[in-house]
Chain A
């Protein structure tokens, strides 16, 4: 199993001199299992370069399949889709797996990414074949012998993590999510933390966390939303993102082997990222969890 990072940034893309090493494109991660159609996690701006790359294979001939798993449909996770070259090649198949946050039909919500007010070509005119496959947390998918487990996360509008497993190897992709203790997102706009967390919500959040820990148990690699530093989190606890420490506690509880910091805040420079990584490695010293930070263009072999 091989993981390639095409976009690692959260919220919006950040071109410029201060983000060259870690990369400025938003969420897009490729997971390859030899002999299987590529699995793509999220369709952020990193997806454009991935499309260029995949065109060299069967997708360039209109003879390829991609399984795209979307955590949610916020712009930074879908913006690359209409710029993914294989969608312009007749014969290609794109299976899109996601949950739609507000109950819109998934096909309609995705089509809005290329509505004619916001994109030069309307979605239904794209030549590739699209299949929209709604997912449900805890209900396994079988993608040609690769097992995918959707996991409910805690984010405005909703978000879904995924555990991807083949043979003895497993990778989890857990973004975007808040920790599970101070706010539970419902279908309304979050102005701030609730004054007091309702007992019912508290119980539901505890269960979500237990389910998440159970779902990623023993994973070789866990890619986790670590948007915030501790101080930033205290300022914006209702924004739906986590810190490296919050991620580390969950990964440690799950006895997973490696935590990869991901969804870097747009204002985080390369030097800031170096510091965040070094600091997390230090904090993780007693946990037995290995730490890395995702860089655009980086490949991780999971063996």
Chain B
């Protein structure tokens, strides 16, 4: 399986020279195994991805998107995701209820005439289908997907486990563990995963004082990886002010603290950051 990061940034885009190496777009990750593809989240990173997908003719196959939740940094790429304007494209979107609202309702509201020239989901040319996430494993193409609700401040965010033929990826952003103790659902999703992509908005020091913000530190991510026996950890959802050099430092600190046998990387946009498992 090939994992490509199109957006690695959390909460807010980071535009500027000091963010160009890891990248400044908000959450979007593409998983591919041969011709099969799953897209995780539609942050601003989905905008460049959408252009590439259309150039490759990907609209001929059904596209599947899993949304962890509907906070703006995870859906802001949606109205600019080129396949939604392609009349032949078929797009399946799986998402949780955001604050009691179904995912299609939240996306439709975000396009209302106050906020967008698109006015409504009805004006998008692609055939869109929406699905509410549950706890039962399901198949997408040949991937086996398990979703689990994780705590994220006052709402829930879904983590995903995607098992392909060649390996398993676990994706959990945005997640904040009460008391800093990883919940069992997170550990189950990451069980022996070849790659765990985990929210590391904070370091151990700055997590204190932000316990209720619904985000994790790299210490928490390491704890999940260790208890789950994951093989590789990608630090993800970099804080919007964290410069490239600071992400390097985070990665070095986490590597030093990592249990034996766990590789640690910083999620990086572009070809340079591609992970193969």
A binding-site residues for B, Cβ under 8 Å:
9, 11-17, 19-20, 23-25, 45, 48, 73-75, 78-79, 83, 100-102, 104, 109, 112, 115-120, 155-157, 187-190, 239-240, 266, 296
B114, A73: Cβ atoms closer than 8 Å: yes
Cβ of B154 and Cβ of A101 under 8 Å apart? no
Which segment of B115-123, B134-142, B192-200, B247-255 sits at the interface? Answer: B115-123
- Residues of A near B70 (CB, < 8 A) are 117-118
Could you name 8 residue pairs across A and B whose Cβ atoms are closer than 8 Å? A23-B16, A25-B13, A74-B115, A74-B116, A75-B116, A120-B154, A120-B214, A239-B117
Task: List residues of chain B with CB under 8 Å of any chain A CB.
Answer: 9, 11-17, 19-20, 23-25, 44, 47, 70-72, 75-77, 79-80, 98-99, 101, 106, 109-110, 112-120, 123, 153-155, 213-214, 240
Q: How distant is B145 from chain A, measured CB to nearest CB, in Å?
A: 23
Q: Specify which chain B residues have a CB less than 8 angstroms from the CB of A11 in the assembled complex.
A: 80
- Which of B77, B113, B123 gathers the greatest number of chain A CB atoms within 10 Å? B113
Known: A116-B98, A117-B70, A157-B114; 13 extra A-B contacts, CB below 8 A, are A9-B15, A12-B77, A13-B15, A15-B16, A15-B20, A24-B15, A74-B115, A79-B76, A101-B113, A120-B153, A120-B155, A188-B119, A189-B118
8 Å CB contact of A15 from B23, B109, B113, B117? B23
Q: Do A119 and B71 have beta carbons less than 8 Å apart?
A: yes
Give the residue among A16, A79, A109, A188 with the most B Cβ atoms within 10 A: A16
Contact A102 B112 (CB under 8 A): yes
Given contacts A11-B80, A79-B72, are A118 and B106 in contact (CB under 8 A)?
yes
**Are B115 and A112 in contact, CB atoms less than 8 angstroms apart?**
yes
Given A15-B16, A79-B76, residue A115 in contact with residue B114 (CB < 8 A):
no
Contact B113 A102 (CB under 8 A): yes
Q: By the criterion CB–CB under 8 Å, are B113 and A75 in contact?
A: no
